[in-house]
Amino acid sequence: LLKLVAIAAKAAIITIQLLQARNGSQQSLHVAFNPSEIDALTALNQQLEARNRRLKNPHPSDRLAWAAWIIGRIGGWDGYPSSKPPGPITFKNGLDYFRAVALGWSLRNVCMP
């Protein structure tokens, strides 16, 4: 039971950190994500950014706000600055999807016999 509470608390903490970072906080990306997850975020960012300037990730790539923009986009947020910012449910949906993508990304170099 204690392990289950710890897992749920970790997911809730990351969601709250993303909510606080969505407006451009200066918090480091390494607070919530490990290096392999950061690699997966970089790959996702390249896919999610559009060619026009309005749908580019406006945050520096070493900040948690950069990851919040990506997680919000894969959670269903449209990414436009004029639209309502992503909320906790959008971030939770984005994190769930991201965890699956990050797991697949970590297995990309594994050879199957």
pLDDT in tens, 7-57: 888 888 889 999 989 888 889 999 899 999 999 999 999 998 887 888 899
Q: How many CB atoms lie within 10 A of CB 20?
A: 13
Q: Which pTM value belongs to this model?
A: 0.87
pLDDT of residue 113: 60
Q: Which CATH architecture has domain 2-106?
A: Orthogonal Bundle (1.10)
pLDDT of residue 39: 93
- Chain centroid, CA 52 distance in Å: 21
User: Are the CB atoms for 47 and 113 separated by under 8 Å?
Assistant: no
Contacts of residue 20, Cβ cutoff 8 Å, sequence gap at least 6: 27
d(CA 106, CA 34): 11
